[in-house]
Structures are given as structure tokens and as C-alpha cells.
Amino acid sequence: MKVYSIRFHSHAQLEGHIPRCNCVPGVLDKNLPILGKTARLEPKSVWKKVKGTLKIKVNPAKPQVDRIRIAADAIKKGGLVAFPTETVYGLGADALNPDAVAKIFTAKERPADNPIIVHIADKKDVYRLAKNVPNGAKKLTAEFWPGPLTLILKRSSLVPDITVVGLDTIAVRMPNSKVALALIRESGTPIAAPSANRAGKPSPTTAQHVIDDLAGRIDVVLDGGSTKVGVESTVIDMTTRIPRILRPGGTSFEDLKKVLCKVRLHPAATAEKGTWVLRVRAPGIKHRHYAPEAQLILIEGKLDRVVKRVKELTAVNMADGKKVGILATDETMSNYDADVLKSLGSRSNVAVIARNLFRLLREFDKEKVDIIIAEGIPLKGMGLAVMNRLRRAANFNIIRV
């Protein structure tokens, strides 16, 4: 048995936290040059290679340090690692290494004008990345970090241009996920990470979704199971006199209002109409997003009228020979009959609806439906984030009844 050396340069190792792993060289491979000769992982049930991408299982409640370290090694060497956060899976690279960040754009086919959120594991790091942290932002970090809230701040000179696509601002968040936090700490650098999907596709909420989109394009996926929140973080611009929500997400507008005296919703946050008519502040919001392969039509309004219209549209499209999918809720399921019928969950629990949303959109694609007819839900709480995703997945093809 050949035994390879392990390099010692992670925090946890220096602090002596890492148990000696009793393993054989398992995953060393020419296809994974980024990992070099430091990676060893056993038993085989823990890891799997898909088209050269190494998927490693990790316990989300108690991430195994030796497994995290393999991913951290890839980050340190300028590679790409997908990892779970509490919201969705992110595709991470060393935020301070321009060559590494450039790889994110290539792997995702991400438009070059869409800046990337920088993830930190220690609240204090925001002062290294931002030039100025206003009082409102301090209050938000105290209340909501770690958590699904991203702050837009004036950036410091530490951050390379490519991470923020040349803007004078930076998006920062501290995720509430033990795996994400361990990865950032072990890597010893802030991690730039957009959602780990191909550009335009629904965000991934499982490691399998990441594999479906990015296998062969990235070095490692840490598989920590399904993400809890299911929609991305709320993005709030703290550089304007009155803070503005650019993207609703896992932290609700109502909760933000309790902490900030004043906060506004950017029109893009409600996504009632195409953002090409808006003055775009978050560059990402002008690109097509969350889109399944099938055409999605969103029906909004009073529930009984919504159900009626969904049934009419289903009948018309099925008569046309189309394979129709309906995205319903527990309360309305029994009204419908379609080729593929799925429920987001109960209308009384929007958190569950948010958790299911992207997975179900991807499932419709697997079933190869031609059209998805989706019910709208109320805009309260996380409902705003869900409707922002649905309206954009529908490419603003919305019927109001």
C-alpha cells in the first residue's frame, strides 16, 4: 500500500483538531489534478467520482474534518468546490484569487457581468471585505448572521475586480451551515460562491442537482443532503440612504422591517414585470433565471379562480397533445388531473413550499413535460421569495385572475 503525505496548513490541523485518518489512498486520480497527492478518503461508500468530479458525503450536523479538508485543499489550490449552505448549494472558489473566480464563470456559463456573493465564517471578516459598514448593516449582522441574508456594501481593495465584476460594491454573507462554515475556515480565505447550477437553471438543493448540472466541470461536491431553506438568501443593498431589498429570500421583508427603521423593496424583488424596464441595481436580476426546460405559466389571484383557470388551461393544452405538469398545493391537488401533478406543500406552511420549489421544478424537467402550470401563493413572509422565483421561472408569463 502506498501512503501519501498530507500537507499541514489548515487552521484545524494547526490547532490539532484533525484526527489522524486511518485510510488508504482512495481518490487519487489523474482526473483530479487539483487535489494532487494530498487527498485520501476511505471507505468508498463515502465518495464517488462522476465524470471526474469527486462527490464526498459529509455529515451536515457534524462535518468530518478530514473530508472538509480535501475540499479545502481544492479551494486553496484555486479549484472549484460545491457545498451546501442553509439556502441552496453554492459553487465556491477562493474569493481573493482572480484565476479561481474566473473558473466559476466558465463552469456555470455565468454572464460576465453578474457579481458573486462572498461567504465568510467570522462576522469580523466583513470589515476586511467592506470599506464601510453602516450602523444598519451592523444591526443586521448582529440579528441575522449566520443566516440567509446578503449585504451589499462598499468594497475594500482586498477584493479582486472579477469577484465583483468591477463594481465598487461587494455582496457578503455568513451562511448558517456547519459544512459551509467549516469549509471556509479550513480554506483560510473568504469563498466566492454563486448558486451551483448552470446559469439560468433552478438553484440546486441537493448534491445530485449539482452533479446533474456541473459534473466534470468542478473538482469536488460536498454532499450534505438537502438544504433547509430551499430558496437563496435575501440580498439587501446597504449603500443607499434607505436600504433596499434587491432579491427577497430566506430572511423575510417583515423580519428586516423589525430591525431597520426604513427598508424598501426594489421593483425587481417582487418581479412583477421584466426587469429590462427597471433601473437594474443587482446585475443578476436582468438575466433569465430559475427556468425549467418546459414553459411555465403562473396563475395568480383568488384561489377558487386560480383553480378554475388551471383546470381550463390544462384541458386546452392536453387537447393540444402537450404533456402538462401542474404545480399545485396540498389544498388544491384533488381538483386536478394532469400528466404530472405535484404539490409544493400546504399553503399554511410557506417554509415547506420554499424548500420544495427548486426540486420540483427540476423534477418536471426529468419527466419531460412541455408545459408547467403553477399556482401563485400569497406574498407574505417567504411567499415573496417563492413568488419572485416563480414569476421569473415563468419569464413573467403571468395570468392574473
* Residue 117: contacted member of Mg ion, ligand TXA, none (CB under 5 to 8 Å, by partner type): ligand TXA
* Residue 156: contacted member of ligand TXA, Mg ion, none (CB under 5 to 8 Å, by partner type): none
Burial of 102: CB neighbours in 10 Å, binned 0-12, 13-18, 19+: middle
Site string for Mg ion, 178-207 (x = CB under 5 A): -----------------x------------
Which is nearer to ligand TXA, 164 or 296 (by Cβ)? 164
- Give the integer Cα–Cα distance in Å for 262 and 257: 7
Residues near ligand TXA (CB under 6 A)? 85, 87-88, 90, 114-117, 148, 150, 152, 164, 167, 169-171, 175, 193-195, 232-233, 235, 246-247, 282-285
Which is nearer to ligand TXA, 284 or 292 (by Cβ)? 284
- Give the integer Cα–Cα distance in Å for 327 and 345: 10
Task: Look at residue 282 and give its three-state secondary structure.
Answer: coil
Q: What is the DSSP string of 198-260?
A: -TTSPPPSSHHHHHHHHTTTSSEEEE--S-SS-S--EEEE-SSSS-EEEE--SS-HHHHHHHS
Q: How far is the CB of 86 from ligand TXA (least distance, A)?
A: 8
Using CB atoms, what's the residue nearest to ligand TXA?
A: 284
Residue 200 in grid coordinates = 439560468
Q: Dmax of the chain from CA atoms?
A: 69
* Residue 357: contacted member of Mg ion, ligand TXA, none (CB under 5 to 8 Å, by partner type): none
Q: Are 183 and 131 in contact (CB under 8 A)?
A: no
Which is nearer to ligand TXA, 167 or 399 (by Cβ)? 167
The candidate with the shortest Cα–Cα distance to 323, out of 291, 367, 293, is: 367
Site string for Mg ion, 221-260 (x = CB under 5 A): ----------------------------------------
Which is nearer to ligand TXA, 201 or 342 (by Cβ)? 201
Question: What is the residue type of 114?
Answer: N
Q: How far is the CB of 292 from ligand TXA (least distance, A)?
A: 17
Residue 12 in grid coordinates = 484545524
Q: What is the DSSP string of 119-179?
A: E-SSGGGHHHHEEE--HHHHHHHHHH-SSSEEEEEEE-TTS-GGGGTT-SEEEEE--S-HH
Q: Are 177 and 84 in contact (CB under 8 A)?
A: yes
Q: How far is the CB of 92 from ligand TXA (least distance, A)?
A: 8
Q: How far is the CB of 213 from ligand TXA (least distance, A)?
A: 13
Q: How far is the CB of 29 from ligand TXA (least distance, A)?
A: 27
Q: How far is the CB of 249 from ligand TXA (least distance, A)?
A: 6
Task: Look at residue 388 and give its three-state secondary structure.
Answer: helix
Q: How far is the CB of 212 from ligand TXA (least distance, A)?
A: 17
* Residue 150: contacted member of ligand TXA, Mg ion, none (CB under 5 to 8 Å, by partner type): ligand TXA
Q: How far is the CB of 49 from Mg ion (least distance, A)?
A: 26
* Residue 87: contacted member of ligand TXA, Mg ion, none (CB under 5 to 8 Å, by partner type): ligand TXA
* Residue 376: contacted member of ligand TXA, Mg ion, none (CB under 5 to 8 Å, by partner type): none
Q: Which of residues 337-376 bind Mg ion (CB under 5 A)?
A: none
Please name the residues in contact with 380: beta carbons below 8 A apart, sequence gap of 6 or more.
Answer: 254, 350
Residues at the contact surface with Mg ion, assessed by CB under 5 A: 195
